[in-house]
Structure 1
Amino acid sequence: MFDNLTERLGGVLNKLRGQGRLTEDNIKETMREIRMALLEADVALPVVREFVEQVKEKALGEEVMKSLTPGQVLIKIVNDELVRVMGDANEQLNLAAQPPAVILMAGLQGSGKTTSVAKLARWLKQSQKKSVMVVSCDIYRPAAIDQLKTLAGEVEAEFFPSTTLQKPLAIAKAALDQARKQFVDVLIVDTAGRLHVDEALMDEIRELHAGIKPVETLFVVDSMTGQDAANTAKAFDDALPLTGVILTKTDGDARGGAALSIRQITGKPIKFLGVGEKTTALEPFYPDRMASRILGMGDVLSLVEEVQGKVDQAKAEKLANKLHKGQGFDLEDFRDQMEQMSNMGGLNSLMDKLPGMGNIPDHVKNQVNDKEIVRSIAIINSMTPQERRFPNLIKGSRKRRIALGSGTQVQEVNKMLKQYAQMQKMMKKMKGKGMAKMMRGLKSKLGPGGGMPPGGMPPGGGLPF
């Protein structure tokens, strides 16, 4: 998300870093380029106008003109304005109600509502330690009820059954009744996708809202629709009192216009981002962290939280003890490492949060491929336990069998084994005092500014994790 904007703004602001002084002329030129970058990111025009005006006004102030590092001060002004446009701070769900707290999900068809219900249920269970019940009031799409039932099973949330013959309000009231009896903390109500111009369906959701009195009414919208997402949210808010927005499919949106437009146009906060298809792929939205990402400064706080929340600490400790005792790093350990990375949203999600990734050329970034992780896991799963523990056994005929079992080519098996060998070498260096030596060696190999090695990725497209 924001790849294009990060690239454009990075170029504009890098020119400013070295400026000894700022003049009205170079501020005007910078503002023009920032304006173009925002418009290309599909940010709504009123938002762009106000953004540029605010930054320009502050940039021409005494604080910047008299500063010893005017370029840095201007970058801070742009950062602060991005935070303000997106909502200043993270706005949490308001669950301070007599249980069950009811969350009503609304949105257009195909925006990812049902999947977002499951993601939110998982997040509430894991992060907030809440018991959750989900119910579908979508009586127009028969598969919707079955889909939610399947997803509820996956995230281990209580599922309240419903049928297409019932009325949405009757379903929601029955679910609310059952949730009270079971002392459930949160009830999430999924609704049918609808257009704000469809009066009959809008009347239906208004009736549903009045009948169950939710503490949160979240509008689920596809970020790839750009500024249209903000306009649609505004139209819904006019008909229904929304409390926040879940922005979905942000992993496929390189522009980010929706995230920068929604708060300003609707006055409603973005509460969560959908960052992938898995039910684990939901992140609380922090405007300050997002601004840092947009300006290429990474988001280390979110990365640390993800590591703490999603990495299997027991497995990590087991591997650390194993290495400390001098026992080898085998293919089962390598597979565990890749599975942990997958649980954290994959390589692309991790790279998004690392500082300085915006400066890495596209051809290097493109070598980082989450599909390769899935393929490598499949290759290792096609091996016998003995082969995983003793990789030196894997020769010609075994490679052919493994390739056949994993649906890959022998060359791909060779490539994975090469990556494993690099990782194994690194793990050997991590034993005891070798860790400090390895870090010194790695530092000397890094290019200027502490980024990637000058040649880009290590041979074979692996990453030194």
Structure 2
Amino acid sequence: MFDALSERLEQAWTKLRGQDKISESNVKDALREVRRALLEADVNLQIVKDFVAEVEQKALGAEVVQGVRPDQQFIEVVYNELVQVMGEANVPLAEAPSKPTIVLMAGLQGTGKTTASAKLALHLRKEERTTLLVATDVYRPAAIDQLVALGKQINIPVFELGTSADPVEIARQGVEKARADGFDVVIVDTAGRLQIDQEMMGELARIKETIQPHETLLVVDAMTGQEAANLTRTFHDQIGITGAILTKLDGDTRGGAALSVRRISGQPIKFVGVGEKVDALQPFYPDRMASRILGMGDVLTLVEKAREEVDMAEAEKMQEKILSAKFDFTDFLKQTRLLKNMGSLGGIMKLIPGMGKLSSEQLEQGETQLKKAEAMIGSMTVQERKDPDILSSSPSRRRRVAKGSGYGEREVSELVTNFQRMRTMMQQMGQGNFPGMGGMPGMGMPGMGGGMPGMPGMGGNPSPQPGWRGGGGNPNKKKKKDKKKKGFGTL
């Protein structure tokens, strides 16, 4: 995500390294690289011109701060302007004074609109808001079936009247059903347009007029670049949108859509889709996105991911094991599986400051090492997992583990040695002997500095998160599941 844009922008900073100050002469080379970076990212041309002009004006007017290099000052100016272009702050989904809040989903075919509807419903459930999904796409084959299947997968009810009913009538009855049953939110999934189809746009306008939504969200494929800006303008002019959801942000995204939608429509990007899984939807924070684009990572999003996955009580137990050097191979397996639940290794690394520049090859090596470690641990007995030291003193045990996992005895020996070294380091970190480090070193991954970078939360004091209410069932009763409170701890 944004890799090409990040690399190009970094070339801009190099134009200012070694300079005494930002001047009109040396800033022009840097601005030329910024302009080229944005154009290659397929950002709308007018937005590029405005962006570069604003950066130039603010960079030349920036006060020289003692001890701060010109390239660092320039990065700050670009960062602030990126935040400004993308919207400054997160804008949450509206909440109507009386139930239900009505959300109308719009967009072209192929943007992931139906999946985004289900993802949004799941996100709202985490906020303890019950949701009813309404299927009005009677044109695309199996569109209604797709939404019903997604609803069953996440336990969210779906209202539909089949493919022979009028979409406007389906939407009207769906909203009435949500109102009668006491749902907090109703999400109306509409038919996608092949391009700007005036007949279909007219139908969308009639649906909007009938149900009077509090939110009209345009689902935009982030890979469409500046074309997303043109689509946004058309939908906004003809229908009137209140926000956007960017999908496929985990793909080969050049960044043009993220930098164009807000400036063109004046409406905020509210959510971003970062994967195919139904839970891969995140609120959009312009400042965090700007940090990612500039290769600064996104620790806050990483911590939020951890909070969703880590059990607070389990984290405290793990912390005690670390401090007493009792962390074993079973615990390591739990940690690696937790890491997988948070997303791909590459996606997580990009959220850690300084790790965004890891190559695909390095990340693949890291994934391979984790799989290799899991296979070898899977061939160990319960006793060997609990007490790795017995493997150190028993060549016959190491040979058996090697044979069972399909790897060599030498690789098993390296795993045990690295694990023992890691356990010692973790104990020292937990006791505060490594200030500023708070994570789990890895199993000596080649090409990644000898170990997997630390993850936030190691040895921390987890802060509780409220539980969330499940969807489906009786919407009038807001039953909270017996979930343990969540925080973030060992990773």
Is the counterpart of residue 86 in structure 1 residue 77 in structure 2?
A: no
CA apart distance, 1:379: 8.1
1:427 aligns with 2:423: yes
- Once the two structures are overlaid, the 10-residue window that deviates more, 302-311 or 285-294, is 302-311
CA–CA separation in structure 1 for the residues paired with 2:18 and 2:261: 34
Letter in 1 for 2:350: D
Moved more, 62-71 or 143-152: 62-71
Amino acid at match of 2:342: M
CA contact (8 A) 1:22 1:65 kept: no
- Structure 1 residues 313 and 14: CA distance shift in structure 2, 3 A: farther
- 1:219 aligned residue: 218
User: In 2, are the aligned partners of 1:133 and 1:179 still within 8 Å (CA)?
Assistant: yes
- Give the stretch that moved more between structures: 214-223 or 194-203: 194-203
Shift of 1:276: 0.8
Which residue in 2 is equivalent to 1:35?
Answer: 35
Normalised TM-score (structure 2): 0.80
> Is contact 1:244–1:271 with CA below 8 Å preserved after alignment?
yes
Structure 1 residue identity aligned to 2:231? T
Cα distance, 1:36–1:214 mapped onto 2, change above 3 Å: same
Instruction: Give the match for residue 267 of structure 1.
Output: 266
C-alpha distance in 2 between matches for 1:414 and 1:145: 55
Aligned residue type for 1:264: R
Matched, 1:114 2:114: yes
Name the residue aligned to 1:457: 448
- The alpha carbon displacement at 1:155 in A equals 2.2
Task: Report the 3-state secondary structure (helix = DSSP H, G, I; strand = E; otherwise coil) of the residue aligned with 1:349.
Answer: helix
Taking the aligned partners of 2:158 and 2:378, their CA distance within structure 1 comes to 33
Residues 122 and 280, structure 1, Cα contact 8 Å, conserved in 2: yes
**1:130 matched to which residue of 2?**
129
Measure the CA separation in 2 of the matches of 1:412 and 1:134. Answer: 53
Question: Shift in Å at residue 141 of structure 1?
Answer: 2.5
Shift in Å at residue 144 of structure 1?
2.0
Q: Which amino acid aligns with 1:104?
A: L
SS at match of 1:175: helix
Tell me the secondary structure at the aligned position of residue 350 of structure 2: helix
Q: 2:434 aligns to what SS in structure 1?
A: helix
Q: Which residue of 2 aligns with 1:236?
A: 235
**Residues 410-445 of structure 1: CA deviation (Å, up to 9, x unaligned):** 2499979965763454235434x56448737989xx
Residues 398 and 413, structure 2, Cα contact 8 Å, conserved in 1: no
Instruction: State the shift of 1:107 in Å.
Output: 1.0
> What is the deviation of 1:390?
7.1
Offset of 1:220 from its aligned partner?
Answer: 0.8
1:284 deviation in Å?
Answer: 0.9
From the superposition, tell whether residues 429 and 157 of structure 1 become closer, same or farther in structure 2 (CA, over 3 Å): same
Residue 355 of structure 2 is matched in structure 1 by 357
> Is 1:194 matched up with 2:189?
no
2:115/2:278 contact within 8 Å kept:
yes
Cα contact 2:322–2:430 (8 A) shared by 1: no
Q: Gaps (5+ residues) in structure 2?
A: 456-491
| Cα pair distance change 1:110/1:51, threshold 3 Å | same
- The one-letter amino acid of 2:448's match is M
**CA deviation vs aligned residue, 1:238-264 (integer Å, no higher than 9, x gap):** 221111111111111342111111111
For 1:101 and 1:374, the matched residues in 2 are separated by 45
Return 40-49 or 147-156, whichever deviates more: 147-156
- The answer for the alignment partner of 2:48 in structure 1 is 48
Pick closer, same or farther for the CA change 1:464–1:86 going to 2, 3 Å.
Answer: closer
| Partner amino acid, structure 2, of 1:3 | D
Q: Which residue of 2 aligns with 1:282?
A: 281
Q: Cα 1:174–1:35, aligned 2, differ >3 Å: closer, same or farther? A: same
Aligned-pair identity (%): 46
User: Are the counterparts in 2 of residues 219 and 246 from structure 1 also a CA contact under 8 Å?
Assistant: yes
> Residue 379 of structure 2 contacts residue 401 of structure 2 at CA under 8 Å; is this kept in 1?
no
2:176 is matched with 177
Give 2:303's aligned residue. Answer: 304
In the alignment, the residues of structure 1 paired with residue 204 and residue 436 of structure 2 have an alpha-carbon distance, to the nearest angstrom, of: 61
Tell me by how many angstroms 1:131 deviates.
Answer: 1.0
Q: Distance in 1 between matches of 2:111 and 2:261?
A: 15
Structural mapping, 1:257-406, within 5 Å: 257-324=256-323, 327-331=326-330, 333-360=331-358, 363-369=361-367
Distance in 2 (CA, whole Å) between partners of 1:106 and 1:412 is 55
Aligned residues: 445
**C-alpha distance 68-234 of structure 1, shift in aligned 2 (>3 A):** same
Q: Within the alignment, does 1:439 sit opposite 2:421 as a pair?
A: no
Q: 1: CA distance between counterparts of 2:409 and 2:261?
A: 46
Tell me if structure 1 keeps the 8 A contact 2:236–2:265. yes
Q: State the Cα distance separating 1:34 from its structure 2 match.
A: 0.8
Aligned counterparts of 1:256 and 1:148: Cα–Cα separation in 2: 29
Give the Cα separation in 2 of the matches to 1:398 and 1:245: 52
Question: 2:339 corresponds to which letter in structure 1?
Answer: M
Distance 1:412 1:14 in 2: 46
What is the root-mean-square deviation of aligned Cα atoms in Å?
A: 3.5
**What amino acid maps onto 2:80 in structure 1?**
D
TM-score by length of 1: 0.84
Cα separation, 2, equivalents of 1:416 and 1:228: 52
- Which amino acid letter does the alignment assign opposite residue 292 of structure 2? R
Query: Structure 1 unaligned runs (5+)?
Result: 403-409, 447-452
